[in-house]
Chain A
Amino acid sequence: MKGFITKSKAIITKDRAMGLFSILLLIFLWKIISVTTASEMLLPAPEKIFRVLVKLVASDDFIFSAGYTVLRGLLGFLISLAVGIITGIMAGLNRTFDVMIRPVIVAVRATPVISIILLALIWLATDLVPVFIGFLIMYPIIATNVTEGIKSVDGELVAMAKTYRVKTSRLILEVYIPAISPFITGGISNAAGIGWKAIIASEVLSQPRFAIGTQMHTAQSYLMVAELVAWTVIAVILSYIFEALIRLLEKRAARWRREIV
């Protein structure tokens, strides 16, 4: 057993080393291209980006721009999660509701993001546009996953709970929710990745006062390519942190499923 654990740890360390190597390789390629093009306008060198990045993070505006974008992302995400779980469960349990909501979800999914952003710009205040877009992108993914999860719940467990007259609220909390938790975390992971990109894209177009998207747009307008790339790196890092948090949540939720080692 000890040998097995040591082996798993060795595999994890090796995977991490490979991941780090791939990032370093990417930076190396980036450096080669930037030296070849020899133009700061096209692609600044990685070390230049790093200097700009440090400067940006140290600036007074950074915390507001990054903070507001994260806040909008979180707001859009939490609304999508709440509405997605509720309507997903309802659709999973009730066929009529499922049949009614499915075309709406398909329509939302099929509509080009840019059309929704342009319409949202007309309908909503600039600060709310990214939240709304985040919701429209993330909600269908979470709701669909939850509905699929509910449909896959073991009917025999539900019958057992019903025989023992377990209250509906407990049936949902103790049977349905744990059973669909892998579907929820899977949905969250997918939705968050796509949603985050859409939120920043909508910030670029809606131009709220404080936003990573607004900063990117400004940098692009003044052809400050290094700043534009530095903000992109910040967005990637924030997305990575969020994804790591989701993975942690996923691990906790699946504690019961872990193999005995």
Chain B
Amino acid sequence: MNLIISGLNKSFPGVDLYRDFRIEFGEGRITGILGPSGCGKTTLLNMITGTVVPDSGEFLGLAGKRVSCIFQEPRLLPWQTVSENVEFVLKDLYSQSERSKIVSGLLKMVSLGEFAGHYPREISSGMKQRVAAARAFAYPSDILVMDEPFRALDLKLKRALINSFRQLWDTDRRTVVFVTHDVDEALWLCDEIYIFSEPPVRIIKKIAVTLSDGEYFPEDNLRETVKNEIYHFIKG
């Protein structure tokens, strides 16, 4: 079932972020959101995760669904090891033996099996983000929200992490809402991209990216065409 948000209203003192806003995210698809800073992209994600309450609005397809998240910062508990951090989100749902199986399987998938007993401070920032991705996929969510998870990484790490993410997602296709400022990232990952305006937010353009072919560096002409189109809309 698609996630459909409609009649959304949300304002903060002095800013009217969303006014009777509607957006739809396809089930089992990766939908990107591009837009200027401060236009409420993160707030939208926080309303989906339930950590921010909208003034009003209907979230169709969210009731009873679990949501997992990958943020710009890995948000790992510094006092828990890598495997404990992944297990942290599973304790209320699975038995000890089930948890161990899920955790070791996912850590292997993100090439961190050997680091299961390490504390976050003992691993690199790229590895921390892979732990966060493993945690998000370990949790049996229907929807995954991502808030610029690759932003703090250099190009090499970014590429490795995107590939890790893509592998995880290919085996377990969840509905993904992906906020980014990076047009290339959006093109590497997304099935469709929304371009947001300044607040009060409206969707300037919805672009379908039907280029998901396993290669995540947009070099061909078609990608360039889409990219130029996106830049055109971002610039207004």
A-side interface residues toward B, CB under 8 Å? 156-157, 159-167, 170, 174-175, 178-179, 256-257, 260
Contacts and interface: CB of A to CB of B under 8 A. Distances in A.
Contacts of A175: 77
Contact of B119 (A164, A170, A256): A256
B77 A163 contact: no
Nearest to A254: B79
Contact of A165 (B75, B78, B92): B92
Contact of A164 (B78, B79, B122, B139): B139
Interface in B48-107: 49-51, 66-69, 71, 73, 75, 77-80, 88-89, 91-92
Given A156-B73, A260-B122, A163 B79 contact: no
Contacts of B119: 256
Contact of B66 (A156, A157, A165, A174): A165
Contacts of A170: 91-92
Contacts, number: 53
Nearest to A253: B79
Given A160-B69, A256-B78, A166 B51 contact: no
A178 B89 contact: no
Nearest to B78: A256
Given A256-B79, A260-B122, A163 B92 contact: no
Contacts of A260: 121-122
Contact of A163 (B67, B73, B121, B122): B67
Interface in B10-35: none
Contacts of B69: 160, 163-164
B78 A163 contact: no
A170 B78 CA distance: 16
Nearest to A157: B75
A162 B51 CA distance: 7
Nearest to A259: B121
Given A165-B92, A178-B79, 20 more contacts: A156-B71, A156-B73, A159-B46, A159-B75, A160-B71, A161-B88, A162-B51, A163-B68, A164-B69, A164-B89, A165-B66, A167-B92, A170-B91, A174-B77, A174-B88, A175-B77, A256-B119, A256-B121, A260-B121, A260-B122
Contacts of A164: 68-69, 88-89, 139
A249 to B, nearest CB: 15
A15 to B, nearest CB: 26
Contacts of B91: 166, 170
B88 A166 contact: yes
Contacts of B46: 159
A257 B120 CA distance: 10
A156 B69 CA distance: 12
Contact of B92 (A156, A159, A162, A166): A166
B117 to A, nearest CB: 12
A163 to B, nearest CB: 4
**In this complex, which of A157, A160, A161, A256 has the most chain B Cβ atoms within 10 angstroms of its Cβ?**
A160
